[in-house]
Amino acid sequence: MNLKPRVALIDYGSANLKSVLGAISGDRLEVRVINSHKELLASNFDFMVLPGVGHFTHGAFSLQQKNLITGIQENFSNGTKIIGICLGMHLLFDNSAEGLGSGLGMLKGKVTQVSKHEIPKSISRINTGWFETESNLQSGGKGLNGSYYFTHSYGLESKDFLNQQELQELSVIKDSTTVSHFKTHQIAGIQFHPERSHNQGRIFINQLISGWL
Protein backbone atom coordinates (compact mmCIF):
# COMPACT_ATOMS: atom_id res chain seq x y z
CA MET A 1 0.00 0.00 0.00
CA ASN A 2 1.38 3.38 -1.03
CA LEU A 3 1.05 5.87 1.80
CA LYS A 4 3.28 8.56 0.32
CA PRO A 5 1.50 11.87 -0.30
CA ARG A 6 1.00 12.41 -4.02
CA VAL A 7 2.20 15.61 -5.62
CA ALA A 8 1.17 16.80 -9.10
CA LEU A 9 3.89 19.05 -10.54
CA ILE A 10 2.00 20.93 -13.23
CA ASP A 11 3.76 21.36 -16.57
CA TYR A 12 2.09 24.16 -18.51
CA GLY A 13 5.11 25.22 -20.53
CA SER A 14 6.07 28.25 -18.44
CA ALA A 15 8.10 26.57 -15.83
CA ASN A 16 11.45 25.52 -14.49
CA LEU A 17 10.19 21.98 -13.97
CA LYS A 18 13.49 20.17 -13.56
CA SER A 19 14.78 22.35 -10.77
CA VAL A 20 11.45 22.28 -8.91
CA LEU A 21 11.29 18.51 -9.31
CA GLY A 22 14.80 18.27 -7.89
CA ALA A 23 13.85 20.40 -4.90
CA ILE A 24 10.69 18.53 -3.86
CA SER A 25 11.60 14.97 -4.82
CA GLY A 26 12.48 12.75 -1.94
CA ASP A 27 11.63 9.50 -0.22
CA ARG A 28 8.59 10.94 1.50
CA LEU A 29 6.66 12.18 -1.54
CA GLU A 30 5.47 10.67 -4.81
CA VAL A 31 5.89 13.44 -7.38
CA ARG A 32 4.45 13.20 -10.90
CA VAL A 33 4.82 15.71 -13.70
CA ILE A 34 1.33 16.37 -15.09
CA ASN A 35 0.56 18.08 -18.37
CA SER A 36 -3.03 17.14 -19.20
CA HIS A 37 -6.52 17.46 -17.78
CA LYS A 38 -6.90 13.67 -17.92
CA GLU A 39 -3.77 13.03 -15.87
CA LEU A 40 -4.80 15.62 -13.30
CA LEU A 41 -8.11 13.89 -12.64
CA ALA A 42 -6.82 10.32 -12.89
CA SER A 43 -5.14 10.29 -9.47
CA ASN A 44 -6.10 11.60 -6.07
CA PHE A 45 -3.40 14.15 -5.54
CA ASP A 46 -2.73 15.55 -2.07
CA PHE A 47 -0.82 18.53 -3.46
CA MET A 48 -0.48 20.43 -6.70
CA VAL A 49 2.62 22.53 -7.38
CA LEU A 50 2.34 25.28 -9.97
CA PRO A 51 5.86 26.54 -10.73
CA GLY A 52 6.54 29.41 -13.11
CA VAL A 53 9.05 31.62 -14.84
CA GLY A 54 7.79 34.20 -17.31
CA HIS A 55 5.16 36.72 -18.21
CA PHE A 56 1.64 36.48 -16.69
CA THR A 57 -0.12 36.68 -20.06
CA HIS A 58 1.90 33.80 -21.48
CA GLY A 59 1.39 31.71 -18.34
CA ALA A 60 -2.38 32.31 -18.29
CA PHE A 61 -2.61 31.53 -22.00
CA SER A 62 -0.56 28.34 -21.60
CA LEU A 63 -2.77 27.07 -18.77
CA GLN A 64 -5.82 27.66 -20.91
CA GLN A 65 -4.28 26.22 -24.08
CA LYS A 66 -3.28 23.04 -22.26
CA ASN A 67 -6.80 22.77 -20.84
CA LEU A 68 -5.49 22.55 -17.27
CA ILE A 69 -7.63 25.18 -15.55
CA THR A 70 -10.73 23.06 -14.89
CA GLY A 71 -8.70 20.12 -13.62
CA ILE A 72 -6.74 22.29 -11.19
CA GLN A 73 -9.94 23.92 -9.97
CA GLU A 74 -11.74 20.56 -9.58
CA ASN A 75 -8.88 19.08 -7.59
CA PHE A 76 -8.81 22.21 -5.45
CA SER A 77 -12.56 21.96 -4.78
CA ASN A 78 -12.00 18.38 -3.68
CA GLY A 79 -9.48 19.50 -1.07
CA THR A 80 -6.16 19.17 -2.89
CA LYS A 81 -3.70 21.75 -1.58
CA ILE A 82 -1.86 23.99 -4.03
CA ILE A 83 1.51 25.75 -3.97
CA GLY A 84 2.28 28.47 -6.53
CA ILE A 85 5.87 29.55 -7.10
CA CYS A 86 6.68 33.01 -8.56
CA LEU A 87 4.53 33.27 -11.72
CA GLY A 88 2.67 30.21 -10.41
CA MET A 89 1.74 32.25 -7.31
CA HIS A 90 0.48 35.14 -9.47
CA LEU A 91 -1.66 32.69 -11.45
CA LEU A 92 -3.54 31.71 -8.26
CA PHE A 93 -5.20 35.14 -8.42
CA ASP A 94 -7.78 36.57 -10.84
CA ASN A 95 -5.39 38.70 -12.85
CA SER A 96 -2.16 40.67 -12.81
CA ALA A 97 -1.11 44.21 -13.65
CA GLU A 98 1.64 42.59 -15.76
CA GLY A 99 -0.71 41.86 -18.62
CA LEU A 100 -3.87 40.39 -20.02
CA GLY A 101 -5.30 36.99 -19.21
CA SER A 102 -7.15 35.34 -16.34
CA GLY A 103 -5.59 33.42 -13.51
CA LEU A 104 -7.20 30.61 -11.51
CA GLY A 105 -9.17 32.98 -9.28
CA MET A 106 -8.54 30.99 -6.10
CA LEU A 107 -7.71 34.08 -4.08
CA LYS A 108 -8.64 37.73 -4.05
CA GLY A 109 -5.70 40.08 -4.25
CA LYS A 110 -3.77 42.36 -6.55
CA VAL A 111 -0.62 41.38 -8.38
CA THR A 112 1.08 44.74 -8.88
CA GLN A 113 4.35 46.24 -10.03
CA VAL A 114 7.02 45.80 -7.35
CA SER A 115 8.45 49.28 -7.93
CA LYS A 116 5.12 50.69 -6.66
CA HIS A 117 5.35 48.76 -3.37
CA GLU A 118 6.92 50.21 -0.24
CA ILE A 119 10.44 49.07 -0.94
CA PRO A 120 14.01 50.01 -0.10
CA LYS A 121 15.41 52.54 -2.57
CA SER A 122 17.89 49.99 -3.84
CA ILE A 123 15.17 47.90 -5.48
CA SER A 124 14.55 48.87 -9.12
CA ARG A 125 11.66 47.90 -11.39
CA ILE A 126 13.25 44.48 -11.67
CA ASN A 127 13.80 42.92 -8.29
CA THR A 128 16.56 40.35 -8.68
CA GLY A 129 18.97 38.81 -6.20
CA TRP A 130 19.14 37.36 -2.72
CA PHE A 131 16.96 39.12 -0.18
CA GLU A 132 16.39 38.67 3.52
CA THR A 133 12.79 37.91 4.40
CA GLU A 134 10.97 38.46 7.66
CA SER A 135 7.70 37.45 9.27
CA ASN A 136 4.85 39.86 8.98
CA LEU A 137 3.64 39.77 12.56
CA GLN A 138 0.43 41.65 11.73
CA SER A 139 -0.83 38.44 10.18
CA GLY A 140 -1.11 36.92 13.65
CA GLY A 141 0.51 33.84 12.25
CA LYS A 142 4.06 32.79 11.78
CA GLY A 143 6.44 33.46 8.97
CA LEU A 144 9.84 32.16 8.10
CA ASN A 145 12.94 34.31 8.19
CA GLY A 146 15.81 33.60 5.83
CA SER A 147 17.59 34.64 2.66
CA TYR A 148 16.23 33.53 -0.69
CA TYR A 149 16.61 34.20 -4.43
CA PHE A 150 14.03 36.49 -6.04
CA THR A 151 13.66 37.56 -9.65
CA HIS A 152 10.46 39.37 -10.54
CA SER A 153 8.95 42.71 -11.42
CA TYR A 154 5.40 42.02 -10.19
CA GLY A 155 4.18 40.70 -6.86
CA LEU A 156 1.75 40.92 -3.96
CA GLU A 157 1.74 43.59 -1.32
CA SER A 158 1.11 42.54 2.28
CA LYS A 159 -1.23 45.47 3.09
CA ASP A 160 -3.66 44.47 0.31
CA PHE A 161 -3.48 40.87 1.25
CA LEU A 162 -3.82 40.74 5.00
CA ASN A 163 -7.50 41.52 5.34
CA GLN A 164 -8.70 39.06 2.77
CA GLN A 165 -7.03 35.78 3.57
CA GLU A 166 -7.07 33.34 6.46
CA LEU A 167 -3.35 33.32 6.85
CA GLN A 168 -1.31 30.77 8.72
CA GLU A 169 1.98 32.24 7.53
CA LEU A 170 3.07 35.45 5.89
CA SER A 171 6.54 36.81 5.23
CA VAL A 172 7.77 39.84 3.31
CA ILE A 173 11.07 40.99 1.83
CA LYS A 174 12.81 42.72 4.73
CA ASP A 175 11.92 46.42 5.11
CA SER A 176 9.33 46.22 2.34
CA THR A 177 5.67 45.38 1.84
CA THR A 178 6.40 42.87 -0.95
CA VAL A 179 5.12 39.42 -0.03
CA SER A 180 7.80 36.73 0.13
CA HIS A 181 5.44 33.84 0.92
CA PHE A 182 2.04 33.12 2.41
CA LYS A 183 0.16 30.03 3.51
CA THR A 184 -3.49 29.33 4.29
CA HIS A 185 -5.08 25.97 5.15
CA GLN A 186 -5.14 24.99 1.45
CA ILE A 187 -3.04 27.47 -0.56
CA ALA A 188 0.55 28.60 -0.40
CA GLY A 189 2.33 31.13 -2.57
CA ILE A 190 6.08 31.66 -2.76
CA GLN A 191 7.45 34.69 -4.60
CA PHE A 192 11.09 33.60 -4.45
CA HIS A 193 12.56 30.50 -6.07
CA PRO A 194 13.05 27.85 -3.35
CA GLU A 195 14.36 25.47 -6.00
CA ARG A 196 17.27 27.83 -6.65
CA SER A 197 17.86 29.10 -3.12
CA HIS A 198 20.56 26.64 -2.07
CA ASN A 199 19.75 24.17 0.70
CA GLN A 200 17.70 26.69 2.66
CA GLY A 201 15.22 26.92 -0.24
CA ARG A 202 14.80 23.17 -0.43
CA ILE A 203 14.36 22.97 3.33
CA PHE A 204 11.77 25.77 3.12
CA ILE A 205 9.51 24.12 0.53
CA ASN A 206 9.73 20.70 2.13
CA GLN A 207 8.87 22.17 5.54
CA LEU A 208 5.96 24.00 3.96
CA ILE A 209 4.58 20.72 2.59
CA SER A 210 5.32 18.85 5.86
CA GLY A 211 3.40 21.49 7.78
CA TRP A 212 0.25 20.42 5.93
CA LEU A 213 0.69 16.67 6.53
Partner 1 sequence: MFRVLAAIQTMGEDAVKTKFFSNPTYVGDPMNIVRILNAKGSQEIFIIDIDSTKSNQINLNLINDISEESTVPFTYSGGINEVSQVLSLMASGVERIGINSLFYENPQKVKEIAEIIGSSSIAFSLDLECVEESNWLPLVRGGTKRVNKNINQIIEDAVSLNIGEIHIKIKNIDGTDGRNSIALFDSFFSSFDFSNVKKEMQVLISSGVRTDSIIEECRDAYKVDGVILGSQICFTNADNSGISIRYPEKYRIG
Please tell me whether residue 197 binds partner 1 under the rule CB under 8 A.
yes
Please tell me whether residue 135 binds partner 1 under the rule CB under 8 A.
no
Q: Is 195 a residue of the active site?
A: yes
To the nearest whole angstrom, how small is the minimum distance from the Cβ of residue 185 to partner 1? 30
| Contact call for residues 135 and 181 (beta carbons, < 8 A) | no
Secondary structure letter of residue 96 according to DSSP: B
To the nearest whole angstrom, how small is the minimum distance from the Cβ of residue 3 to partner 1? 28
With the CA atoms of 99, 104, 109 and 113 taken in that order, what torsion angle do they form, in degrees rounded to the nearest 10? -20
To the nearest whole angstrom, how small is the minimum distance from the Cβ of residue 71 to partner 1? 21
Please tell me whether residue 66 binds partner 1 under the rule CB under 8 A.
no
Please tell me whether residue 180 binds partner 1 under the rule CB under 8 A.
no
Q: What angle do CA 56, 113, 109 make, to 5 degrees?
A: 70
Please tell me whether residue 55 binds partner 1 under the rule CB under 8 A.
yes
Q: Which is nearer to partner 1, 80 or 93 (CB)?
A: 93
By CB under 8 A, how many residues form the interface with partner 1? 38
Q: Considering only CA atoms, which of 31, 35, 30, 29 is closest in space to residue 10?
A: 35
The strand ranges marked E within 35-105 are 47-50, 81-85
In this chain, which of 4, 18, 38, 116 binds partner 1, going by CB under 8 A? 18
With the CA atoms of 131, 114, 51 and 142 taken in that order, what torsion angle do they form, in degrees rounded to the nearest 10? 60
Cα Rg of the chain (Å, integer): 16
Single out the segment in contact with partner 1 by CB under 8 A; choices: 1-9, 28-36, 104-112, 147-155: 147-155
Q: Considering only CA atoms, which of 137, 37, 15, 172 is closest in space to residue 83?
A: 15
Single out the segment in contact with partner 1 by CB under 8 A; choices: 42-50, 63-71, 125-133, 137-145: 125-133
Contact set with partner 1 (CB under 8 A): 13-19, 22, 53-58, 87, 98, 115, 124-131, 147, 149, 151-153, 193, 196-202
